[in-house]
Chain A
Amino acid sequence: MLSKRWLSLGGWLLLVLLVVFALQRGLQLDSDMQFFLPPAASPQQQLVLDELQQGAAARLWLLAIRAESEATAAALSQRLAESLAGESAFVQVLNRPQPLPEEEQQAWFVYRYLLSELPEMDAASLHQSLQWRLEELASPLGPLLRQTLASDPTAQFQQWLQAWQGEAGPVRRHGVWFGDDGRALLLLRSRAAGMELDAQAANLTLIESHFAALPGSAGASLSIGGAAPLAVTSRDTIRSEAQWLSLLATLLVALILLWAWRSPRLWLLAALPLGSAVLGGLWVTQTLFGQVHGITLAFGITLLGVALDYPLHLFSQLRPGSRPSEALAVVWPRLRLGVLSTAAGYLAMIASGFPGLVQLGAFAASGLLVAALVTWLVLPAALPRIWQGRESQRAALPVPPAWRMRVRIALLLGLAGLSLLVLLTSPRPIWQSELAALSPIPEPLRQQETALRQALGLAELGQMLAIRGDSAEVVLQRSEDLLPQLQAWQQAGLIQDVELATALLPSERRQRQRQQALPDPLALQAALDEAQQGLPFRQGVFADFVEALRHSHELAPLQPAMLETLLPDSLLAARLAPLLFERDGQWWALLRLHGLQDGQALADWVATNSDGDLHYLDLARDTSAMMLTFQRAALSWLGGGALLIGLLLWWGLAGLRQALPVLLPVLSALLVTLALLHLMGQLLSVFHLVALLLVLGIGLDYSLFFQHGGNRQQRRRTGHALRLCAISSMAVFVILALSSLPVLQAIGLTVSVGILTSFLFAWLLTPAGVDPPNKA
């Protein structure tokens, strides 16, 4: 006996140490906020996800500096830009438009007659051009324009440079960008993708420390905006509030348990199953998936909250002078059934194939099994061989109203039906469709973000046309075919502006067309000679121009693949990267729309004019749609889990007659909880669903134990345990429900309402107090 006891304890300790060691060596915690989105069902959904996570828009940081004077703000902006430019964390730090370096201008200058629209090259047009150039020579710009005058008298390259410079952007004062409100503005592009939150959190600290280190920054303030910093702030807010509330909840539960048992030993042992469950779940998840998701951990530990009830059931059955094994014998059959069916319900999520649910299912199911094993094998061994403590003498639970069982069942069925009716006929939406609504970012911060974006002339959230094809050439050509339509929209005011690759790099087809249209050298020379009449230019000074045109005839058109060879790390390639790229063997051209007035009109046009290669994407709309799909699917997996649980109970309790009273309170409670949440004005999100999973597990245990037979004493003790379980769980989740953060509130509210209804319903179905014949 002694050896078995020590074997249990020693084995448990050894396993804990091994798991801790394994986790310490290899635990990969990552936090990707999009983890709970479904895997992309189509290439354009994949594009939406990629854009959201790694896209150009998600990497942008917007900075604004306010100081006592604009001159000071400008100086700080300049110093901050210089100081941050040395950091490899940012690929771009801008506080003014980025001019194209001399070297790069020279590289693309050669292609000027292929890259932009050709001017007329007859004698009269050339004469006009030369006249302009002459006037420019006489102007203060003379020395600058003189550089390319002889080789580019029609200022062909200027056209392309204008496309490069694009829109005017924010106003500039003291050399740097300024917003209307007198703040100096900076635009940063991080190396890390928008949703790599740990890297982005480091970037946030980096920027703040650089700013603080600037001389003169003490009297100035720096505001930081962008998708990434907002996500970091949001995560940190949730984290700190969750930690604070959990601490409060843990203290409260500890006090309740201490008060209930008045035994520090039991009090300490109560934490063993949950603690082991977390370790076990972590180890299994890490082993299966190679990493554990931050959200899996957070949600998983919430789900494992069921395991806190296991020792409560066991300890409540301890009687003075009895062995722990006797108490275990009373609770174990029900507990085992509860654990197995709950774990099965969680395992059902694995079949969903959604990465978030799969990990969560694996974590929670394995954790529960570990908790049950610890309760079964380790806890009795850790208790004294003969329990000497006092038995708690709490009053039994009040007896439910003495209605006939059929009436009680009808009542529950009626409530469930009513809830279903409420949900199905409600005029209000059931589901939360906006990602942003779940974020804890305070409204002022959100408004500041919007103001910063407008000041910098950035689109709010990506709205774009996406063209898919087999090669870069195909998608470039398709973009060019769309140009007349885009111009029509621009004139009609449907869109303000479009950012697209072909404005800087036309298709090969278009470049070849331009080559065809180039005048032949002899004709050009003749036109030029005639154009020079009456102008003071020397004969022959435009030889470079004639030669350049001749050379353009035989030039191989500039193509995306050539950029890197011609000039490594060019700004042109960097500018094109988010507009034209290859992904999974397919080429995409994105036409980013600014100032879109009516997305639906555009979507409709695309629907009728696309051959499947053109898509209208609205990141906000599309991710919402994907989230809805996910939530609906998750709910049906929850239903599937419940069904599986039902089957297990049927089998475990040897009959539908026994299984139904266990299952009915749980299912009714889930439905009633859903309906109550809806009536309270909550929009259901993935967080509610996770909370419902916990309600399912806890409710099942309540039901099983309320249905527990046993003698009067055992039932009284069971009642005591159940009351303790409900009170302590309620304490935790009511505290969470009081949180101001949508995420914590959703979980807290759902679980507290769910526990309350589960408890009441299970209690309502308590069999009449007749001692069953078989004495435990």
Chain B
Amino acid sequence: MITGNRKPSRRLLVWALLFCSMTLQASPLNVLLAELAVQQHSELRYTEQRHDALLGVPLHSEGTLRYRAPDYLQKTIERGAAGSFVIEGDQLRVQRGERLHELALDSHPLLMAMATALRATLAGDRAALEAQFTLQLEGGHEDWQLRLRPRQREVARVLFELRIHGSGAKIHRIETEERSGDLTITELLHGHAE
């Protein structure tokens, strides 16, 4: 590959860097995230089951999930409870009945981590994900599972891991497993209210 006789090492380095960046670009996770990032906004119905040791039966709720790139996420609960939760930037706005209050996400690392998991995945923002979680992608393109384990000790004390399941650019299911063993399964229903 050495075509000239001057500074061969530098040329080699350029090639190596180019090669590395190509492989990096082409990693399955990057491909997946790039595909997810294409979607600028979405509105999906969801159903949610929370299996909690405090409860005798799983807690069921359902509602609508809205996303707008890059950082707007709204969860409206319509059954099982009522309320609207909007995450925009670093603010979480909670509306329950008449009461509206705001929370700063960075005062609550746990909420911040959970918001990042969903928002950054939808936005295809690998850097933001890596900042908070160790990532592990399993399965094929049509049936993938992304495991996110929190890096922060404070978060990891409560949250064990998040598993996001999907096929292609569609997310089907999110499983949130807490240290306590409690498990929340959120199913996203495509083709309903898109």
Q: Could you tell me which A residues sit within 8 Å of B by CB distance?
A: 96-97, 99, 102, 134-144, 146-147, 149-150, 172-175, 536-538, 541
Find the residue from B77, B81, B159, B176 having the highest chain A CB count within 10 A. Answer: B81
Residues in A with CB closer than 8 Å to B54 are: 137, 146, 149-150, 537-538, 541
Is the beta-carbon distance between A143 and B59 smaller than 8 angstroms?
A: no
A142 to B81, CA, bound (A): 12
With A97-B107, A149-B54, A536-B57 as given contacts, are A142 and B184 in contact (CB-CB < 8 Å)? yes
A139 to B52, CA, bound (A): 13
With A99-B107, A142-B50, A143-B110 as given contacts, are A538 and B55 in contact (CB-CB < 8 Å)? yes
Can you list 19 A-B pairs with a CB-CB distance of less than 8 A?
A: A96-B104, A97-B104, A134-B81, A138-B80, A138-B81, A139-B85, A143-B158, A143-B176, A143-B182, A143-B184, A144-B108, A146-B182, A150-B54, A173-B90, A175-B104, A175-B106, A537-B55, A538-B53, A538-B56
Is B135 close to A, CB under 8 A? no
Residues in B with CB closer than 8 Å to A537 are: 54-56
Residues in A with CB closer than 8 Å to B158 are: 143-144, 147
Q: Could you tell me which B residues sit within 8 Å of A by CB distance?
A: 48, 50, 52-57, 59, 61, 75, 77, 80-83, 85, 89-92, 94, 96, 104, 106-108, 110-111, 114-115, 154, 158-159, 176, 178, 180, 182, 184
Residues in A with CB closer than 8 Å to B92 are: 140
A139 to B83, CA, bound (A): 8
Is the beta-carbon distance between B104 and A139 smaller than 8 angstroms?
A: no
A172 to B92, CA, bound (A): 12
Is the beta-carbon distance between B178 and A135 smaller than 8 angstroms?
A: no
Residues in B with CB closer than 8 Å to A536 are: 55-57, 59
Is the beta-carbon distance between A146 and B77 smaller than 8 angstroms?
A: no
CB-contact partner of A139 in B77, B106, B115, B159, under 8 A: B77
Is the beta-carbon distance between A141 and B107 smaller than 8 angstroms?
A: no
Kindly list the 3 A-B residue pairs having the minimum CB-CB distance in the complex, ordered from nearest.
Answer: A135-B81, A138-B61, A138-B81
A174 to B88, CA, bound (A): 10
A146 to B53, CA, bound (A): 11
CB-contact partner of B89 in A146, A174, A538, under 8 A: A174
Residues in B with CB closer than 8 Å to A140 are: 75, 85, 92, 111, 114-115
Is the beta-carbon distance between A138 and B59 smaller than 8 angstroms?
A: yes
Residues in B with CB closer than 8 Å to A102 are: 154
Residues in B with CB closer than 8 Å to A538 are: 53-56
CB-contact partner of A173 in B89, B180, B184, under 8 A: B89
**Nearest chain A CB to B150 CB, angstrom units:** 11
Residues in A with CB closer than 8 Å to B55 are: 137, 536-538
Is the beta-carbon distance between B106 and A137 smaller than 8 angstroms?
A: no
With A134-B81, A138-B59 as given contacts, are A146 and B180 in contact (CB-CB < 8 Å)? yes
A142 to B180, CA, bound (A): 13
Residue of B nearest to A98 (CB): B107
Residues in B with CB closer than 8 Å to A139 are: 75, 77, 81, 83, 85, 94
CB-contact partner of A138 in B77, B104, B154, B182, under 8 A: B77
**Nearest chain A CB to B124 CB, angstrom units:** 20
A139 to B48, CA, bound (A): 10
Residues in A with CB closer than 8 Å to B81 are: 134-136, 138-139
Is the beta-carbon distance between B90 and A172 smaller than 8 angstroms?
A: yes
**Nearest chain B CB to A254 CB, angstrom units:** 64
Is the beta-carbon distance between B52 and A137 smaller than 8 angstroms?
A: yes
**Nearest chain A CB to B105 CB, angstrom units:** 8
Residue of B nearest to A133 (CB): B54
A172 to B89, CA, bound (A): 10
A146 to B159, CA, bound (A): 12
**Nearest chain A CB to B179 CB, angstrom units:** 10
**Nearest chain B CB to A94 CB, angstrom units:** 12
**Nearest chain A CB to B169 CB, angstrom units:** 23
**Nearest chain B CB to A171 CB, angstrom units:** 9
**Nearest chain A CB to B65 CB, angstrom units:** 10
Residues in A with CB closer than 8 Å to B80 are: 135, 138
Residues in A with CB closer than 8 Å to B107 are: 96-97, 99
**Nearest chain A CB to B157 CB, angstrom units:** 9
Residues in A with CB closer than 8 Å to B176 are: 143
Is the beta-carbon distance between B159 and A143 smaller than 8 angstroms?
A: yes
With A536-B57, A538-B56 as given contacts, are A138 and B111 in contact (CB-CB < 8 Å)? no
With A137-B50, A138-B48 as given contacts, are A174 and B182 in contact (CB-CB < 8 Å)? no
Residues in B with CB closer than 8 Å to A136 are: 81
Find the residue from A143, A146, A150 having the highest chain B CB count within 10 A. Answer: A143
**Nearest chain A CB to B164 CB, angstrom units:** 15
Is the beta-carbon distance between A141 and B184 smaller than 8 angstroms?
A: no
Q: A144-B158, A541-B53 are in contact. List 15 more A-B contacts (CB 8 A).
A: A97-B104, A134-B59, A135-B81, A139-B83, A140-B85, A140-B111, A143-B159, A143-B176, A143-B182, A146-B182, A147-B158, A149-B54, A536-B55, A537-B55, A538-B55
A97 to B178, CA, bound (A): 28
Residues in B with CB closer than 8 Å to A144 are: 108, 110-111, 158
A134 to B52, CA, bound (A): 11
Is the beta-carbon distance between A135 and B159 smaller than 8 angstroms?
A: no
With A134-B81, A140-B85 as given contacts, are A146 and B154 in contact (CB-CB < 8 Å)? no
Residue of A nearest to B115 (CB): A140
Is the beta-carbon distance between B85 and A172 smaller than 8 angstroms?
A: no
Residues in B with CB closer than 8 Å to A149 are: 54
Residues in A with CB closer than 8 Å to B106 are: 96, 175
Residues in A with CB closer than 8 Å to B56 are: 536-538
Residues in A with CB closer than 8 Å to B91 are: 172
Residues in A with CB closer than 8 Å to B111 are: 140-141, 144
**Nearest chain B CB to A101 CB, angstrom units:** 10
**Nearest chain B CB to A453 CB, angstrom units:** 22
**Nearest chain A CB to B160 CB, angstrom units:** 10
Find the residue from B52, B75, B182 having the highest chain A CB count within 10 A. Answer: B52
**Nearest chain A CB to B118 CB, angstrom units:** 9
Residue of B nearest to A147 (CB): B158
Is the beta-carbon distance between A138 and B96 smaller than 8 angstroms?
A: no
**Nearest chain B CB to A457 CB, angstrom units:** 16
A541 to B52, CA, bound (A): 11
A143 to B154, CA, bound (A): 13
A102 to B156, CA, bound (A): 14
Residue of A nearest to B83 (CB): A139
Residues in A with CB closer than 8 Å to B94 are: 139, 141
With A140-B114, A147-B158 as given contacts, are A174 and B108 in contact (CB-CB < 8 Å)? no
Is the beta-carbon distance between A146 and B178 smaller than 8 angstroms?
A: yes
A541 to B54, CA, bound (A): 6
With A138-B50, A139-B85, A146-B178 as given contacts, are A175 and B59 in contact (CB-CB < 8 Å)? no
A49 to B80, CA, bound (A): 60
Is the beta-carbon distance between A172 and B104 smaller than 8 angstroms?
A: yes
**Nearest chain B CB to A135 CB, angstrom units:** 4
**Nearest chain A CB to B128 CB, angstrom units:** 13
Residues in B with CB closer than 8 Å to A99 are: 107-108
Residues in B with CB closer than 8 Å to A173 are: 89-90
**Nearest chain A CB to B42 CB, angstrom units:** 17
A150 to B52, CA, bound (A): 12
Residues in A with CB closer than 8 Å to B108 are: 99, 144
A175 to B83, CA, bound (A): 24
Residues in A with CB closer than 8 Å to B115 are: 140
**Nearest chain B CB to A177 CB, angstrom units:** 11
Residues in A with CB closer than 8 Å to B52 are: 137, 146
Residue of A nearest to B102 (CB): A168
Is the beta-carbon distance between A174 and B59 smaller than 8 angstroms?
A: no
A320 to B66, CA, bound (A): 105
A138 to B50, CA, bound (A): 7
**Nearest chain B CB to A78 CB, angstrom units:** 10
A605 to B55, CA, bound (A): 56
Residues in A with CB closer than 8 Å to B184 are: 142-143
Residues in A with CB closer than 8 Å to B104 are: 96-97, 172, 175
Residues in B with CB closer than 8 Å to A150 are: 54
Residues in A with CB closer than 8 Å to B89 are: 173-174
A102 to B107, CA, bound (A): 11
Residues in B with CB closer than 8 Å to A134 are: 59, 81
